Amino acid sequence: MDSRYQKAVLNIVNIQKQIIGPLAVDMAKRVGAITFTDGSVEIRGDPKTVLHQLVKEYEVLFGELSVKISKDSIKEMKFEPVELPEILR
């Protein structure tokens, strides 16, 4: 799997953690395809789907601002639009 997706998950969780604290990690763990171990992350399944589910977890609780913050946290990563879920384009 492209390691950019793991980095994207970590970036999104870390930026959310700066705002809402440890709750950000708890929310990310609700996405069953994400596992955190020793500062790294494992993604199972389609990474686009996992990213979508992760951002939706934050959006449900914190609204559109959490989506914008998530987008901003990965914009430097040089993803092509087709490589990302619609919510992060």
Rounded-to-integer distance, Cα 3 and Cα 64, Å:
27
Rounded to the nearest 10°, the torsion over CA 82, 18, 58, 85 is 0
Each residue's pLDDT tens digit, 49-80: 999 999 999 999 999 999 999 999 999 999 99
* Strand 40-43 to 34-37 pairing: antiparallel
pTM of the model: 0.95
Each residue's pLDDT tens digit, 16-44: 999 999 999 999 999 999 999 988 999 99
> Where does residue 3 rank: exposed (0-12), middle (13-18), buried (19+ CB within 10 A)?
exposed
Q: Rounded to 5 degrees, what are φ and ψ at 36?
A: -100, 135
Query: For the chain, which residues make up each domain, given as ranges?
Result: 3-88
